[in-house]
Amino acid sequence: MKSIVLSSVTIALIALSGCSDKEPAVDEKPAIEKPAVEKQEEEKVVEKVEEVKTEVVATDDAIVNSDETPQLEPLTDSSNSDNSMSISDIENQLSTIYFAFDQFNISSDMQYKISDDVSAMNKPEKSFNIKLEGNCDEWGSDEYNFALGLKRANSVKKALIAEGIDSERISMVSYGESNPTCKDQTQECWSQNRRVDFTLLP
């Protein structure tokens, strides 16, 4: 009886030890393969992604080719041409002609100034007109001073014509005593107001 029990226990131990050596079974089902069409689509997408490359544009390449785009000329104001500037420059060089008290004849020292003015104004390449502006001091009535201012302008006009300036280029105006350059009550100041100014017009 003991031998039967021992043999039963031995068999049971062998069976248990044999079971412990076995590795657990793993379900090794093969992965379901994707259809061939789906694989091809994935491969195309991968190829497209690989083809994308970054590119740095050089500064020189970023400039538009001048052959393709016409260059614009700098804007210039035709009204402020070299001719207009020259007129302004010439006007600044002209001398004012001064007169003695209650006189409209040109003194000898003023005649030299007129000759210098003519050499500046009588340039054939420049075409401009000359306006003579007669002025007086504050002595005398308004009517008298306007008439005296016009006589002074006319004297300068005759002197310019004698020096070769075309009379068609000359116009005259009298401001009388209304346009003084000096307002002090002195002899020196009054002498500065007895004058003819030049204004050049295009």
Domain count, the chain: 1
C-alpha to C-alpha distance for 20 and 12, rounded to whole angstroms: 13
Range of the domain at 176: 100-119+127-182
Question: In the prediction, which pLDDT does 124 show?
Answer: 57
Q: Is residue 199 part of a domain?
A: no
Q: Summarize pLDDT for 114-164 with one digit per residue, the tens.
A: 998 988 887 655 678 999 999 999 999 999 999 999 999 999 999 999 998
For residue 58 the two structure tokens come to 């050089």
For residue 135 the two structure tokens come to 């002025």
Pick from 30-44, 55-69, 178-192: least confident? 55-69
Q: Phi and psi (nearest 5°) for 10? A: -60, -45
Tell me how long the chain is: 202
Q: Summarize pLDDT for 172-190 with one digit per residue, the tens.
A: 999 999 999 999 989 999 9
In this structure, are strands 97-98 and 195-201 parallel, antiparallel, or unpaired? antiparallel
C-alpha to C-alpha distance for 153 and 168, rounded to whole angstroms: 15
Residue 44 reports pLDDT greater than 90: no
Q: Phi and psi (nearest 5°) for 190? A: -65, -35
Q: Is residue 149 part of a domain?
A: yes
C-alpha to C-alpha distance for 111 and 117, rounded to whole angstroms: 10
Q: What does DSSP assign to residue 24? A: P
Q: Is residue 53 part of a domain?
A: no
From the DSSP assignment, how many helices (H) and strands (E) are in the chain? 7, 4
Residue 173 CB burial class (10 angstroms; 0-12, 13-18, ≥19) = middle
Pick from 37-41, 47-51, 56-60, 144-148: least confident? 56-60
Please say whether the beta carbons of 173 and 132 come within 8 A: yes
Pick from 57-61, 102-106, 158-162: least confident? 57-61
C-alpha to C-alpha distance for 161 and 6, rounded to whole angstroms: 161
Q: Is residue 48 part of a domain?
A: no
Q: Is residue 140 part of a domain?
A: yes
Question: In the prediction, which pLDDT does 122 show?
Answer: 73
